[in-house]
A and B are shown apart, each in its own frame.
Chain A
Amino acid sequence: MKKLALAVSLALAAGVAHAQTINIAGFGAKTGPVRSFGVNSHAALLAAADVINKAGGVKLADGSKAKMAVEFYDDRCDAAEGISVIRRIAGTNALVAVGPTCSNVAEPLFGILQKKVGDAGDSGLQFPVFTDVAIKVGLAKISEWAFRNVPNEMTMYNSLFYWLHTQHPEMKTVYAGVEEDFAHSRATWYIVMKPRAEASGFNVLGNTKWLLADTNFATQVREMKKANADIVAISAHPFSTCGVLKEMQRQGVKPKLLVGLTSSSSLETLQGCAKQAEGIIIPTSFAPINKEAVAAAQTTAKFKGAADLHSMAAWENMFILKNVMESEGISGKPGDLQADRRKVRDGLAKLKTTKGLMGVTKRDAEREADKPYLFVHAKKGEWKVLYNPL
């Protein structure tokens, strides 16, 4: 009996000592002015891994279970750094990378991945990247190793301007303020908001421009005042959005409605200028409106992160990856690393839908997501749901 107990203990100990780990690399801006995005993504990845591991972990091809381990790398929202980071990650035993934060990193980074899977003449990196934050339209089509779980801004702003047009038929004109030197904000106005506003029947009177780190918006707001549009669309991130809104307050510019950029539906905007941002409407793919979303937000908060449309995409990515790994039957053995990476890539490519915190997300042939969304507005220092088309 004693020998049996000893044998069982040794077997258990051996099992524990050899517990497998699936390594997931996260990467994004952990330093620099957009550090909050990286902090929140990292927290969401750790929180999701914690939940998955507590439920037993990831089931491998041989039936055993492996824990998910997350290591986060800092790309400083810099393209060269991002490329260096992904090459470094590819040299580790990470199966897949979740990131980056910035669209100006994602675009060149996807460019160094192998364009077409199986193309022997293409020496690009063969490593799956599953983006949570970088949101500039149409990037995943650059490489078949790139996948994104970011909201489709074209769909959201199309819906938003159409809804605004039906809700407020008396409003005819739109004028925009655009943060010119950030890939996301610039592309979102020119490629998304402007054409969608025009398609919904609004007359776009023009736009004014500033840079991300600008502090003086007097000239731009005067142009806004002259335009006297019914709706002012601000395609900018929180710092300059707050700067412009404060200048608008000083100059007495009060449009009937304000529309903001998706990335500004965050705590940063409310911390910087809650009073001036009162009423600004922004489409988003996350709000804590159901039990799952609330639980995800609370768990992420335990890891010192805030839940928003970007960080919750990272949370969703972990669960999607878990399901893909299990359905594709990854082995988790060091010798099968590249084969497992290929399985993850192929598994992600096969997906037609995924389960998100707001509901079912559709996936298209260009490896982009079509996520459920709703419209929020800033009300008394909080983001409240204005309209839920779900």
Chain B
Amino acid sequence: MISLWSRFWFTPSSPVDLGVGRLFFFAGVFATYATEDFSAWGGVSDAFWLPLPLFTLLHLKPLAPDVLAVLQVVWRAALLLSAVGLFTRASMVVASLLGVYLLGLPHNFGQTYHFDAVLVIAMCILACSQAADACSIDVLLRDHPAPRRSGEYAWPIRAIWVAVSLVFFAAGLAKLRYGGLAWITSGNMSILLTRALYHVSDADPLTSAGLWIAAHHWLASAVAAAAVTTEVSFPAALISRRARMVLVPAAIAMLVAIRLLMGPTFGGFLIVNVFWVPWCALVVRAETWGIVRRRAATKPAAVDSQSAPAPQSSHSSFDSHHSITH
């Protein structure tokens, strides 16, 4: 059990997956919140103030709008620096600390949304990681040799996987716990899809196709069953590559469908999915594909000159991705 645990969290891995994930993640968060104005929360009446346990624990209060405006500029700068990998460790720490405060602040006014919680968790995990060891300006600037494969580059990705899995699993479990099988078999999904048109969410649905689905009871039940199945079985993606290939796209499709048919915005969840992608393997596969293509293109010439050596470029390219993978 202990070795299974260690193998899951700390399998020596290349820093590339974590580095590329960091780049896309922070860039995605920056893009998502580039125009978000948190400063207005500083001006909301105390009558709305209903603090989260975390804010109570840390005695955090809404700061003045001007101060919040400065903080959000600093936060965005930290996000950008974290993405490009300059002063990465410090940037990620600042981004995560300010992220906890700024993203958490709106949830202290009577309603807690969940679309950004996993972003905060991911930022905190990355701040504790060595995600700057690949795909960063810091790496280009320093003279150190390329870092070797280490468990240090595996656990942050696994931790983010677990965080995402817990979100889906908890949501699925809550449906079965509070609604039971009736959540699927009754007309509940039809009601939810119809009700979404009555401005009950943070955003209205992008289409009214939900009404069409709601009109077909069996289809609504099938959608509900698919949603619950995806959510409850999502932890399987942690341990099975095949399950990952099915469940991660299914979960992404579900979030997109929720936005289209019901309204709630789960953009944050979509950003975190960059950590499911095996970037290193993709690079290798792309290069291999390129080599095969080039060899196929040069094959007739090689047949003509029987003893012609393989193209030098192919060898060097293959060597280069060997150095990435091993």
The judgment on whether A and B are partners is no
- Interface on B for A, CB 8 Å cutoff? none
- Interface on A for B, CB 8 Å cutoff? none
